[in-house]
Chains A and B, each alone.
Chain A
Amino acid sequence: MYTQALNVKDTGKPASAEDPGKLARFQARIDAEEKIEPNDWMPEAYRRTLIRQISQHAHSEIIGMQPEGNWITRAPSLRRKAGLLAKVQDEGGHGLYLYAAAETLGCSREELVDQLLAGKAKYSSIFNYPTLSWADIGAIGWLVDGAAIMNQIPLCRCSYGPYARAMIRVCKEESFHQRQGYEIMMTLSRGSAAQKAMAQDALNRWWWPSLMMFGPSDKDSVHSTDTMKWKIKRFSNDDLRQKFVDATVPQGHYLGLEFPDPALKRDEKTGHWQHGEIDWSEFKRVLAGDGPCNRQRMKVRTKAHEDGTWVREAALAHARKRAERAAAVRIAAE
């Protein structure tokens, strides 16, 4: 998912080292489905996990603007141009709400952005793949936003209030993106032979990376027990992936497209769609920084940040001058 790299060992103070009384009261509140708010007591490990998860999610939204932004200036109709522009803008807005939610945990946006630019923070591996045709814009909306929704709908009930509330807002927009993406795929699939080929090629390239968005399979997943207990996470990676596959495969068939998985078949007993083995070596490679676009994505983000330095400095300097002038006027009046 957008937070798929969470499966790393947490090396800070373990929850077991906290005051047992406070810990028990905290857990009782969570068990009673109460929301934890910024000023409430919380175990350090809970705070760290949330900061990591929310900031990874925010970074993913920001880096995710690049692959789709790649087609804004070439969108093939004015309606599509406006739709894509608005979609990419929405993703920036998601980044903004999420950084704000992370800030309620005592970590500033600047710190989090610095971690991203220093290569210390992760973002979703899906955004390290290139967008090679217009159909990729459809495929991303349909599959990537579709996968994001699967993960984020349960997050709307996350125990941490500000994150849960941000997710409610984000989910509404993501489902709009998913429908818009599917509609692009539909138009291409019903279009010329070249358009249909474009749609099929996009599905071929985006299908497996979309399945990888849910993270490692449950048998290889490090410590999701705490996050489950704390109701940050409510479903396992494999459960969410299965939900996504079940929802998406019939949609693809309706488009008349083929999934690039010869093993894909419906289990008659359970009704679930079973997919073939995911290439976990590719997943690890992309996560480790060796995907097709990891370097470009970071280079572009870093350049945008550096190119904007003088603008941010100017805004600060101007705000300071204004404050000084206002103060001088106040003093003169006294």
Chain B
Amino acid sequence: MSSTTAALQSRRAPARKAKAGGRTSRPAAGKADAASSPLFSYVVSLADDALVLGHRLSEWTGYAPTLEEDIALPNLALDLIGQARFFYAYAGEIEGKGRDEDALAYLRDEHGFSNVLLAEQPNGDFAATMLRQLLYAAFMHPYFQALTASKDARLAEIAAKAVKEMAYHVRHSAEWVIRLGDGTEESRRRAAAALDELWMYTGELFEMGEGERALVGAGVAVDRESIRPAWDATINRVLAEATLERPAPCGMQSGGRAGRHTEYLGRMLAEMQVLHRAHPGVTW
């Protein structure tokens, strides 16, 4: 493993770019308030997904089942937190009110977060963590691939970096799901239980609101429904190799995009935001 701390030097958010011109196109949503512009909301939701799941993964640090995983899990977390930072930085620029990545991450309440419910689910056991990662990454990998063709140059640029990271997340989580599914009786039972519990949160990955649909129409965002064949193919392949059965269609949970979360997110944010909020306005 090379020094990831050193690598962080280059993980900083990209330099601010001129907001006008280039390939950047704004959908004509007709709203004067940029804070509620579809593009701002969309970019924040991409950031929230990444931050919330990245934070969850970071909770594992030092407690993983093997030393190798104690190194791999923070890697996954760092990728996602890095993605979140790029997206938040961009969202802040779109908004133009001086909110930076930390203002967006630390000073919004639970109801302001628009991540999918899947991302906030607790780590559970290692099987639950790896299944959550597979279900998410199998979606985000092809999603970012498609987003590299966005008419919004900034989004395309962030996606190009993220797509490589998500390919690794798919590989890593798939390997573990296969090992656990086709491992011992206990690991199989745990993997099957985790899959069963998480399945109802997968429908939300494909949902789009009106604003996001408009962005898809403008060639800025990606039609989430178009990702389904790729997601299905990955999930079916991995589950088959893991000798796990794909759950039957069931009632799907959603609400995260609109700020209606499961009970878990509030506690997670309370911990994440406590220090930042205790010292308003200072530099860390």
- Interface range for B: 35 or more
Contact of A85 among B51, B65, B74, B274 (CB under 8 A): B74
- The residue of chain B having its C-beta at the shortest distance from the C-beta of A113 within the complex is B67
Q: Could you give, for residues 284-328 of chain A, a 1 whenever the CB lies within 8 Å of some chain B CB and a 0 otherwise?
A: 000000000000000010011001111111110110010000000
Q: Does B25 contact A (CB under 8 A)?
A: no
Binds B, one of A29-37, A169-177, A239-247: A169-177
Binds B, one of A64-72, A154-162, A225-233: A64-72
**B67 x A76 contact (CB < 8 A):** no
CA distance A310 to B62 in the complex (A): 17
**A82 x B271 contact (CB < 8 A):** no
Binds B, one of A42-50, A118-126, A190-198: A190-198
CA distance A80 to B64 in the complex (A): 22
Q: Please, which residues of chain A bring their CB within 8 A of the CB of B81?
A: 78, 81-82, 85
**B68 x A96 contact (CB < 8 A):** yes
Q: Please, which residues of chain A bring their CB within 8 A of the CB of B55?
A: 73
Q: Does A130 contact B (CB under 8 A)?
A: no
Contact of B275 among A74, A85, A99, A192 (CB under 8 A): A74
Q: Does B84 contact A (CB under 8 A)?
A: yes
CA distance A294 to B255 in the complex (A): 44
User: In the assembled complex, how far is the CB of residue B15 from the closest CB belonging to chain A, in whole angstroms?
Assistant: 15
Q: Please, which residues of chain A bring their CB within 8 A of the CB of B62?
A: 65-66, 69, 88, 92, 300, 304
- The residue of chain B having its C-beta at the shortest distance from the C-beta of A301 within the complex is B62
Q: Does A221 contact B (CB under 8 A)?
A: no
User: In the assembled complex, how far is the CB of residue B47 from the closest CB belonging to chain A, in whole angstroms?
Assistant: 10
Q: Does B118 contact A (CB under 8 A)?
A: no
Residues of A44-102 at the interface with B, using a CB-CB cut-off of 8 Å, are 62, 65-66, 69, 72-83, 85-90, 92-93, 95-96, 99
- The residue of chain A having its C-beta at the shortest distance from the C-beta of B5 within the complex is A86
CA distance A309 to B184 in the complex (A): 11
Q: Please, which residues of chain A bring their CB within 8 A of the CB of B85?
A: 78-79, 82
How many A residues face the partner with a CB closer than 8 A? 55
**A310 x B71 contact (CB < 8 A):** no
Q: Does A187 contact B (CB under 8 A)?
A: yes
Q: Please, which residues of chain A bring their CB within 8 A of the CB of B67?
A: 62, 92, 95-96, 99, 109
User: In the assembled complex, how far is the CB of residue A303 from the closest CB belonging to chain B, in whole angstroms?
Assistant: 8
User: In the assembled complex, how far is the CB of residue A277 from the closest CB belonging to chain B, in whole angstroms?
Assistant: 35
Q: Would A73 and B58 be within 8 Å (CB), given that A85-B81, A95-B67, A308-B64 are in contact?
A: yes
**B1 x A96 contact (CB < 8 A):** yes
- Nearest 6 A-B pairs (CB), nearest first? A308-B65, A314-B183, A314-B187, A311-B65, A89-B74, A69-B62
A-B contact pairs, 8 of them (CB 8 A): A74-B274, A92-B67, A93-B1, A191-B282, A308-B126, A311-B180, A315-B183, A318-B182
Interface residues of A, Cβ cutoff 8 Å to B: 62, 65-66, 69, 72-83, 85-90, 92-93, 95-96, 99, 109, 134, 172-173, 176-177, 180, 184, 187, 191-192, 194-195, 300, 303-304, 307-315, 317-318, 321
Supply 17 further A-B pairs (C-beta < 8 A) apart from A92-B67, A307-B63.
A72-B61, A73-B58, A73-B59, A74-B275, A75-B275, A78-B88, A81-B81, A82-B81, A85-B61, A90-B4, A92-B70, A95-B67, A308-B126, A311-B126, A314-B186, A317-B183, A321-B182
